[in-house]
């Protein structure tokens, strides 16, 4: 493993941000940290990258203490909020970050990979929000890191830019890099993550591959169109949009048999797996334990 926390506790003012968290980041994987605002994700990231120290517990990065500058050289980081030196141009910011590493990415190659080549001579203050975010993410890869820590990297990006960034993250992982990602976009985690850790109230409440977490929830969606809602047993959750009815159930086969036995006049029947977002909400509701 390239990074790990063991039984870590951290208080920020009056808030107990982390309550005995243990988690490892394995070499060559993409681990997505999920959780609502205030779950402790950013606090955990700040410990792993050496910006804070734990009150109790152990934090290791590449076998050393992340608070030591020499240890942090394996890292590339995109924090949630970034600020650039206001007098610098895009190229100059990239070269400033590259200068801290012994084997950095070539400047032009990095700019081109993240769609910044045509902006290289632009002052950073003249960048749009999306352009500034792309620059912030590019800087995480400037030093050829072993571990890229990306805290909400695609916030504020349009769909096309987000997908382009996903391709670069996947490319980095395929080349042997490791990624720790926090995101509020559950589609992003489902598309990219090898493993997911769900945090809530300062604890890891579930951990595993996206598919494993969905299986742990144990529900499927049965969806069809009908004029009225039929009354069906074995339903965990129900939603209606016009004539489209969606039932969440632990036994989709039995539910479909009940629909047929009742003679429901339906159309467009589908039995679907739940999404990672639905599994995530089930975990937060306490339906699934770690």
User: pLDDT tens track of the chain, all 290 residues?
Assistant: 899 999 999 999 999 999 999 999 999 999 999 998 889 999 999 999 999 999 999 999 999 999 999 999 999 999 988 889 989 999 999 999 999 999 999 999 999 999 999 999 999 999 998 999 999 999 999 999 999 999 999 988 888 889 999 999 999 999 999 999 998 888 899 889 999 999 999 999 989 988 888 887 778 889 999 999 999 998 888 989 999 999 988 899 999 999 999 999 999 999 988 888 888 877 777 644 43
What's the confidence (pLDDT) of residue 282? 76
Neighbours of 33 (CB within 10 A): 25
Q: Which helix (H) or strand (E) holds 135?
A: helix 129-140
Domain spans of the chain? 3-214, 219-273
CA distance 79 to 243: 44
What's the confidence (pLDDT) of residue 286? 66
* Whole-angstrom Cα Rg for the chain: 22
Q: Does the predicted model carry a pTM greater than 0.75?
A: yes
CA distance 284 to 213: 12
What's the confidence (pLDDT) of residue 213? 82
Matching residue, tokens 């999404």: 275
Answer whether 35's CB lies under 8 Å from 189's CB. no
The torsion angle over the Cα atoms of residues 217, 223, 229 and 232, rounded to 10 degrees, is: -50
CA distance 13 to 128: 34
What's the confidence (pLDDT) of residue 202? 94
CATH assignment, 3-214: 3.40.50.300
What's the confidence (pLDDT) of residue 171? 94
């Amino acid at each position: 493993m390239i990074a790990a926390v063991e039984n870590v506790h951290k208080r920020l003012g009056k808030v107990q941000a982390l309550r005995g968290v243990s988690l490892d980041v394995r070499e060559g994987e993409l681990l997505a940290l999920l959780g609502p605002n205030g779950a402790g994700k950013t606090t955990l990231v700040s410990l792993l990258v050496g910006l804070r120290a734990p009150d109790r517990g152990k934090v290791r990065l590449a076998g050393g203490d992340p608070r030591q500058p020499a240890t942090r050289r394996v890292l590339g980081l995109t924090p949630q909020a970034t600020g650039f030196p206001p007098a610098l141009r895009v190229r100059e910011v990239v070269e400033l970050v590259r200068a801290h590493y012994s084997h950095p990415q070539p400047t032009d190659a990095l700019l081109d990979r993240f769609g910044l080549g045509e902006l290289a001579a632009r002052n950073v203050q003249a960048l749009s929000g999306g352009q500034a975010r792309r620059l912030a993410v590019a800087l995480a890869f400037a030093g050829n890191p072993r571990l890229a820590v990306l805290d909400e990297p695609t916030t504020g990006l349009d769909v096309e830019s987000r997908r382009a960034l996903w391709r670069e993250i996947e490319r980095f992982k395929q080349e042997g890099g490791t990624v720790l990602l926090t995101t509020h976009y559950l589609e992003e985690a489902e598309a990219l993550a090898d493993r997911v850790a769900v945090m809530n109230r300062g604890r890891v409440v579930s951990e595993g591959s996206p598919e494993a977490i969905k299986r742990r929830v144990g529900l499927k969606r049965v969806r069809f169109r009908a004029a009225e809602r039929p009354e069906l047993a074995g339903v965990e959750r129900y939603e209606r949009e016009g004539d489209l009815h969606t039932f969440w159930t632990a036994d989709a086969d039995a539910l479909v048999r009940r629909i047929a036995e009742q003679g429901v006049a339906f159309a467009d029947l589908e039995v679907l797996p739940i999404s990672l977002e639905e599994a995530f909400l089930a975990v937060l509701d306490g339906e699934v334990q770690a």
